[in-house]
Structure 1
Amino acid sequence: MRPPDDGQLAALAGVAAGDLHPSGERPFLTPWTHLPPQQRALYVVQQHWLTRAQWRPDAWTLEFGVFHGVQPLGMVALRGREFPILREVRTSSWLGRSAQGQGFGTEARAALLQLAFEELGAVAALSEVFQDNAASQGVSRKLGYRPDGISRDVLDGQPVVSDRLRLTREDWAARVRVPVTVVGLEPCRCLFFAPERGLLQ
């Protein structure tokens, strides 16, 4: 799992242009997976570039490509809003359909959580998932998330209900975890905490 360079990003966009979920499913509030294949690929590239361009310590999104060897599988993201104060993160992910159901999603989320809790000092990780998204719900349960209410949104002109889930640092620390090695964080650590004016100095 690593931040993709442009070549790797193109390969990940190719995965996004393929099969992502059964026809008729709506796994995301932003329904980008229902775009035509070429537009899905473009969406992935543009969103990745946008998150880099808009990075601020009080509003950031860190995206990683998920790979099995050199094979691209999908992408995951760790997000922070007012992170220096709140110390809370959110996660999101997508995988190509051929990679689903093999534990890659669980391992990738666990790696994000290790980065958040052990390296960045987060106090909680939050997630919102549609109530009918059994796969994502299952990953959250495996990793120790607990119910934290619901949220209601509009999708395709209809109300949809998501479960809000929360994993605290204490619950994370109490669980047996897969080994995770974080490389290359130190030169970037100030980007998560420095005041905005510090980025210009």
Structure 2
Amino acid sequence: MTERQHRGMRNWPLTGLRVTTPRLELRLPSLDDLDQLADRAAEGVHDPGTMPFIVPWSDAGPEERARRTVQYHFSLWSSWSPAEWTCAFAVLFEGEVVGTQAIAATDFAVTREITSGSWLGRRFHGRGIGTEMRAAVLHLAFEGLGARYATSGAFVDNHASLAVSRKFGYADDGVQIHNRQGEPVTTLRLRLSRDDWAGGLGFKIHGLEPCLPLFGVAPTSPDR
């Protein structure tokens, strides 16, 4: 990573935003990162015969999954506004892009509430990476952006995602019925308050200050 990339573009400082943990680095993907992320999507992100996503983007062949991944991230960058944003990071483990972790919000300046979503390359499952990358964005949300609440949700049969949420103390926040490939399925909604967040030991946020206006956060906000 060059010094210019580390600082981020003057006109798009999100390219310099990073969250580091004892094992991971989360950053807005470069074009090379995005290529690697598309490769992870092509390799597969969940067991065949299951569908953990409300939008079934992974229900396609490898090449189409790769293209959808690239196009999705381009769409997030082009539609970003302080009133509505999705910050989707590339997650690096031992120098390799292994998945993506996002937080999103609408009217964050007022609501101080974020939601999260993620996926991890299938061959990296079972190493605790999913838990650590969720912790990283919770650290960014609560400690960096001054969020009051974090929400999440998962299909009732997505045991891995629900287990991660339970580890952090998310509380039940109701249910919702979704159409999953033509069949009704229950989604469990979950909520974590800032007061119940235990914090992330050894987690660091880099390059946040110039990004704050893009998140709808004033640098002098009393909530930070």
TM-score tier by shorter-chain length is over 0.9
- Structure 1 Cα separation of the partners of residues 200 and 92 of structure 2: 20
User: Which of residues 143, 150, 154 is equivalent to 1:125?
Assistant: 150
Does the 8 Å CA contact 2:156/2:186 hold for their aligned counterparts?
yes
Write out per-residue CA displacement over residues 100-149 of structure 1, whole angstroms, 9 at most, x where no aligned residue: 11110111000100000011010000011000001001100111111111
Output the TM-score relative to the length of structure 2.
Answer: 0.84
Q: Using the alignment, how far apart are the partners of 2:108 and 2:102 within structure 1?
A: 15
Q: Which amino acid aligns with 1:23?
A: P
Aligned twin of 1:184: 207
The letter of the residue matching 1:180 is F
Q: Verify the 8 A CA contact 2:136 2:200 in the aligned structure 1.
A: no
Unaligned regions of 5+ residues in structure 2, if any?
1-25, 219-224
Find the aligned partners of 2:166 and 2:50 in 1 and give their Cα distance: 21
Say what the alpha-carbon RMSD is for the aligned residues.
1.3
TM-score after normalising by structure 1:
0.93
Gaps of 5+ in 1: 196-201
2:112 to 87, 99, 102: 87
User: CA-to-partner distance for each residue in 1:44-95, whole Å, 9 max, x for gaps?
Assistant: 1101010010001111000101111221110010101111100100000000
Query: Are 2:105 and 2:113, in contact at CA under 8 Å, matched by a contact in 1?
Result: yes
Matches within 5 A, 1:34-183: 34-172=59-197, 175=198, 177-183=200-206
Q: Which amino acid aligns with 1:86?
A: T
Q: Indicate if the aligned counterparts of 2:27 and 2:89 stay in contact, CA closer than 8 A.
A: yes
Aligned residue in 2 for 1:199: none
Could you say which structure has the greater relative contact order, defined with CA pairs below 8 angstroms and 6 or more residues apart? Answer: 2
Alignment-derived partner of residue 15 in structure 2: none
How many pairs does the alignment contain? Answer: 193
Percent of aligned pairs sharing the same letter: 43
Indicate the residue corresponding to 2:216 in structure 1: 193
